Amino acid sequence: MTPADLNPVREHIASRIIGQQKFVDSMLVCLLSDGHLLVEGMPGLAKTTAVKSLAEAVEGDFHRIQFTPDLLPSDLIGTDIYRHEKGEFEFRQGPLFHNVLLADEVNRAPAKVQSALLEAMAEHQITVGQRTYPLPKLFMVLATQNPVEQEGTYHLPEAQLDRFLMQAVVTYPTRDEELKILELDGQQQQQSYAPPAKPLTQAELFAMRRAVSNLYLDPKLHSYIVDLVQATRNPKLYDPDLARWCRFGASPRASIALARCARARAWLDGDEFVAPHHIQLVAPEILRHRLLLTFEAEAEGITTDEFVNRLLNLVAIP
């Protein structure tokens, strides 16, 4: 399998949304890395449309669930139903048993519901009562959220945030892109919707994942990845300002994610090995939701992206 085999997926997504190339690349990196993606952006920026387009282009069951304040954990996991004819309880599967799950506006549900995703995202299984049920081999959660300052939202627990492989931020389109969006909307109103002619099969996707995992990553770059993550925990070794800005650094999951996503990024670029710039390209989306900044940093208007970019400039490349 080669990166060209993903072109039909790219083309289908491009037929539904305009621009947002970085966001599309993030979705593909997550897909190839067997991870979950958190997408943040203001309403109306085609977050849901992009995620649905990706799901349509990949073979498998797709389910969309709208997170609301009155959602219950059983609405995600499923529940035991009593069968009178059998005289026993039977488990009815919930939306988590689909291959691709779109958790729309995930931060509109309270923490009790959000925590129901933890075991599924981390271990590809769920537990109901005394029984554990495995999830499909292809299982990917793509969650969208509006910025937490908006009314009616809940901050995602740090434990759940760490389960997301990457966090993508969707920004407003440029003027030219917005003109093209108007043109595309007019075309879509006049034409019937056409699904992809041939979705990417799961066998093809798993072959791509094997190719990605076999891509060469030099031991020196292992050290570079660890140095980057360690620097988020000990920023005072690099810059006194960084030490003032960061309360908690990234966990070892960040090191694993950097290695996996750097391989996927290199494979998508058609390279035969991972280079430092591949690590630097994926670092902001891997670290931005795993860092907890101080109140001082927030008062100074420092964002996690600015913190990460400064670290990338300070940590030596081998």
Closest CA to 306 of 288, 290, 294, 289: 288
- Walk me through the domains of the chain, giving residue ranges and CATH numbers: 3-188 (3.40.50.300), 215-314 (1.10.8.80)
What is the mean pLDDT of the segment spanning 308-318?
91
Q: Tell me: the pLDDT tens digits for 102-144? A: 988 888 887 778 777 888 888 888 888 778 889 999 999 999 8
Provide the pLDDT for residue 130.
79
- Specify the pLDDT at position 311: 92
What's the mean pLDDT in 35-53?
A: 88
Would you call 246 helix, strand, or coil by DSSP?
Answer: strand
Nearest to 23 by CA among 229, 228, 173: 173
pLDDT at 44: 83
Share of the chain above pLDDT 90, in %: 42
Measured in degrees and rounded to the nearest 5, phi and psi for residue 20 equal 55, 40
The strand pair at 125-128 and 131-134 is best described as: antiparallel
The whole-angstrom separation of Cα 170 and Cα 139 is 23
pLDDT score for 190: 62
SS3 78: strand
Q: Is the CB of residue 5 less than 8 Å from the CB of residue 109?
A: no
Q: Which residues have C-beta within 8 Å of that of residue 191, sequence separation ≥ 6?
A: none
Which residues fall within 8 angstroms of residue 124, CB to CB, at 6 or more apart?
134, 135, 137, 139
Q: Which residue carries 């999951």 as its tokens? A: 253
The amino acid sitting at 106 is V
pLDDT score at 241: 85
* Confidence at residue 264, expressed as pLDDT on a 0 to 100 scale: 96
Q: Residue 151: pLDDT band by 50, 70, 90 thresholds?
A: low
String of DSSP letters for 122-146: HHSEEEETTEEEEPPSS-EEEEEE-
Q: Please give the helix or strand (H or E) that residue 89 lies within, else none.
A: strand 88-93
Answer yes or no: is pLDDT of 167 > 90: yes
Q: Pseudo-torsion of CA 200, 204, 209, 215, nearest 10°?
A: -120
pLDDT value, residue 306: 92
Instruction: Please state, in angstroms and rounded to a whole number, the distance separating the CA atoms of residues 219 and 224.
Output: 9
Q: Which tens digit of pLDDT belongs to each residue from 22-41? A: 999 999 999 999 999 999 88
Q: pTM for the full model?
A: 0.89
Mean pLDDT score of the chain: 88
Per-residue confidence band for 147, with pLDDT thresholds at 50, 70 and 90:
confident
**Looking at residues 218-246, what average pLDDT do you find?**
92
> Tokens 């993550």 identify what position?
229
Q: Cα separation of 286 and 290, whole Å?
A: 7
Residue 303 corresponds to which amino acid?
Answer: T
